[in-house]
Amino acid sequence: MELAILFGGASFEHEISIVSAITVKSKLNKYTLSFIFCDADHEFYKIDASNMRAKYFSNLEYKKSSKLSLIKGGFEEKKMFASKTLKVNVLNLIHGADGEDGSISALFDFYNIPFIGPRKEASVFSFDKEYTKYIARSLDVRTLDYEVVHANQAYNIKTPLPYIIKPARLGSSIGVSVVKDESEVDYALDVAFEYDTRVIIEPFIDGVKEYNLAGYGARESIRYSIIEEPAKNEFLDFDKKYLDFSRSATVSEADIDEKLKLKMQSTFSKLYGELFRGALIRCDFFVINDEVYLNEINPIPGSMASYLFEDFEVAVGEILEYLPKNESIKVDYNYINSINQAKGK
Amino acid sequence: MELAILFGGASFEHEISIVSAITVKSKLNKYTLSFIFCDADHEFYKIDASNMRAKYFSNLEYKKSSKLSLIKGGFEEKKMFASKTLKVNVLNLIHGADGEDGSISALFDFYNIPFIGPRKEASVFSFDKEYTKYIARSLDVRTLDYEVVHANQAYNIKTPLPYIIKPARLGSSIGVSVVKDESEVDYALDVAFEYDTRVIIEPFIDGVKEYNLAGYGARESIRYSIIEEPAKNEFLDFDKKYLDFSRSATVSEADIDEKLKLKMQSTFSKLYGELFRGALIRCDFFVINDEVYLNEINPIPGSMASYLFEDFEVAVGEILEYLPKNESIKVDYNYINSINQAKGK
């Protein structure tokens, strides 16, 4: 089966997307893969499989690859005297801005390019930690209480210490701090405001149990990965998460009882709903007093959470089979015609 | 000042977008206008001002116009031996899908084309009547109670009769019904499900007072239009609203007291916030017992609600002056470089 992996993007997570793509490449040997790199200037390049090394990008060697432009149904590779088109299913593996904020999905839907990844509504909700709360609450999924602080506005934080400060719209723990003492607040806010104009404040629960569950929709049902209890220090920091994107060994299932497992799966299923159709997502849950709380939704998890699936190649095949279809809208100009007839034109 | 008007789109409101563009053209005489038509197949055409007649489109004559393709910073017009670029501010006047659902804004942001219109997050929230409720509630703005019914799922409507049934994601009253008797429910749901897989049910309040207020952000403040009490029969149906898109005469201010006017303005301002920066929006309010309820947000109102502004040309100039800027993200490959150094590469 043919598949193009799209990676890079104008995002703080550009580099981890490269690492992620290199990892996923090694997990999809049964596929005929091609590689599309989006650089920080939003130029697309077709990357030869043999050049899929981190250094090829950090050295800017990629600029020697052929440029691609978006056309209906795919990409066009401009050659000196002719042009070649690449019409193939795409796996959107751009983490953070562009990939997870709805830009790429809007582009691909507009140009009618079939892709694995969150659609734009799902992206807007999961990319923003405040908006994620809206979805969770509308579905009666528990989340931690939170408050919002805006840049350049007075604040009066009511959440009791210790708490965690996060930029509203970044993943990979960038700009996140745990505040244990009042004296640390200003600095933690400054750090978070480097990345966003809006930050979320949530209680920090020391030693809270954390579990990751990935899955995707296939036909009417959801296919779940195993549940992992991720190793952690205080909270997953950027370096630690970064390594996640290059994880390739499969992990072992968390030691939890069947009841809790089913609770997590049914919470996942509620969240996935119709909204995330076409995507393989990873939900990160907290468990407090045997209740499942949504921490965050990763609509394009690092290396597609491939390490959580028994057979990742089968998983990708199933997602491709059940990609949502764009409905085409017919315009018949009935309205204008009827007005013109009434006017005698 | 130069400005391109973008209209059409693959949307049930394609035709009213054409009417809207023709109306706005007549309201912006001080501008040097160009016209970009997006047809239902997502092809862009450069339309000569002299061809801005409804029939030019309904007759498919537009296909003789030059095609445009998106490039960084604007559009490219392909000529036989050369190509011309059109780099200009764009007014997004595509109503409904494409224009108001976040597609065009994602495209234009990606290609770095400055435009008037809602950004993708604002679009996702205002395009969907359920998501609009989330935003309103998070801002403590009153809205009517509602429930959601999904296509192909059993339903048990709890809202007391009479109620109104609306497809979640369409404007212009398409697919909307008032249900006064239990016997009408199935048919009304069928009609709504023709347009969406999810419908919203809200109490229908006979004779509720309805007011429209438009506005836009300029520098730190919001500029408000006058407040109109729209003429209505039972509710604004498609034909009635359609005519709205061609309205050009200015209307007279609703007869309300100063206190209510200020309440509506402050509700508008809360809703507009940072989310709608770059857009001129119209909020449709209900007033019940002197309290202001949000009915819906039109992020691209018919003919840009030009009839509500004293000087529409000045309004457009101000929006252009304060368009949000895209922040560019620098990728320095520090992370990959540091890993490679550690590996001794």
| CATH number of domain containing A311 | 3.30.470.20
* Cis peptide bond upstream of A162, omega within 30: yes
Q: Let me know whether A162 and A21 are in one domain.
A: no
Q: Let me know whether A57 and A196 are in one domain.
A: no
Closest by Cβ to A55, choosing from B42, B72, B345: B345
The pLDDT assigned to B234 comes to 46
| Alpha-carbon span A275 to A268, nearest angstrom | 12
Q: How many C-beta atoms lie closer than 10 Å to residue A25's C-beta?
A: 18
Cβ(B6)–Cβ(B89) under 8 Å? no
Closest by Cβ to B54, choosing from A11, A101, A340: A340
Closest by Cβ to B107, choosing from A11, A97, A110: A110
Per the domain annotation, does B57 fall within a domain? yes
The pLDDT assigned to A82 comes to 78
Q: Let me know whether A214 and A182 are in one domain.
A: no
Q: What is the pLDDT of residues B2-45, one digit of tens each?
A: 999 999 999 989 999 999 999 999 999 999 999 999 999 999 99
Q: Let me know whether A292 and A265 are in one domain.
A: yes
Per the domain annotation, does B341 fall within a domain? no
Per the domain annotation, does A22 fall within a domain? yes
Q: With a CB-CB cutoff of 8 Å, which residues 236-275 of chain B face chain A?
A: 242, 274
Question: B81 vs chain A: nearest CA distance in angstroms?
Answer: 14
Q: What is the mean pLDDT of residues B125-139?
A: 96
Mean pLDDT, all residues of chain B: 91
**Confidence check on the interface: ipTM exceeds 0.90, yes or no:** yes
Residue B288, strand partner residues? B291
| Alpha-carbon span A163 to A179, nearest angstrom | 5
CATH number of the domain residue A187 falls in: 3.30.1490.20
CATH number of the domain residue A40 falls in: 3.40.50.20
Q: Let me know whether B33 and B102 are in one domain.
A: yes
The alpha-carbon radius of gyration of chain B (Å, integer) is 22
Amino acid at A231: A
Per the domain annotation, does A310 fall within a domain? yes
Cβ(A108)–Cβ(A279) under 8 Å? no
Q: Which chain A residues touch B57 with a CB distance below 8 Å?
A: 333, 336
Question: Angle between the A120-127 and A129-138 helix axes, to the nearest 10 degrees?
Answer: 110
Q: Let me know whether B104 and B249 are in one domain.
A: no
Pick from B203, B220, B243: which residue ends a domain? B203
Q: What's the total number of domains in chain A? A: 3
| Alpha-carbon span A64 to A73, nearest angstrom | 25
| Alpha-carbon span A339 to B314, nearest angstrom | 32
Distance between start and end Cα atoms, chain B: 54
Per the domain annotation, does B78 fall within a domain? yes
Tokens coding A176: 């996140």
Q: Let me know whether A166 and A313 are in one domain.
A: no
Cβ(B104)–Cβ(B94) under 8 Å? yes
Q: Let me know whether B178 and B274 are in one domain.
A: no
| Alpha-carbon span B316 to B90, nearest angstrom | 11
Q: What is the pLDDT of residues A95-141, one digit of tens each?
A: 999 999 999 999 999 999 999 999 999 999 999 999 999 999 999 99
- Closest Cα in chain B to A128: B121
Q: Let me know whether B216 and B297 are in one domain.
A: yes
Per the domain annotation, does A32 fall within a domain? yes
Q: What is the mean pLDDT of residues B100-115?
A: 97
Nearest to B94 by CA among B279, B228, B323, B266: B279
Q: Which chain A residues touch B101 with a CB distance below 8 Å?
A: 120
Per the domain annotation, does A339 fall within a domain? no
Q: What is the pLDDT of residues A186-244, one digit of tens each?
A: 999 999 999 899 999 999 998 899 999 999 999 889 999 999 998 765 444 555 555 66
Q: Let me know whether A91 and A11 are in one domain.
A: yes
The range of the structural domain enclosing residue B49 comes to: 2-117
Instruction: Determine contact: B187 vs chain A, CB below 8 A.
Output: no
| Whole-prediction pTM | 0.93
Q: Let me know whether B221 and B198 are in one domain.
A: no
Residue A7 has pLDDT above 60, yes or no: yes
| Alpha-carbon span B216 to B317, nearest angstrom | 11
Instruction: Determine contact: B134 vs chain A, CB below 8 A.
Output: yes
The most confident of the ranges A234-243, B172-181, B236-245, B259-268 is B259-268
Q: In what order do the strands lie in the sheet with A209-218?
A: A142-143, A291-298, A280-288, A209-218, A221-228
Q: In what order do the strands lie in the sheet with B291-298?
A: B142-143, B291-298, B280-288, B209-218, B221-228
Pick from B158, B176, B203: which residue ends a domain? B203
Per the domain annotation, does B95 fall within a domain? yes
% of chain A at pLDDT higher than 70: 92
Q: Let me know whether B192 and B229 are in one domain.
A: no
Q: What is the mean pLDDT of residues B211-230?
A: 94
- Closest Cα in chain A to B273: A150
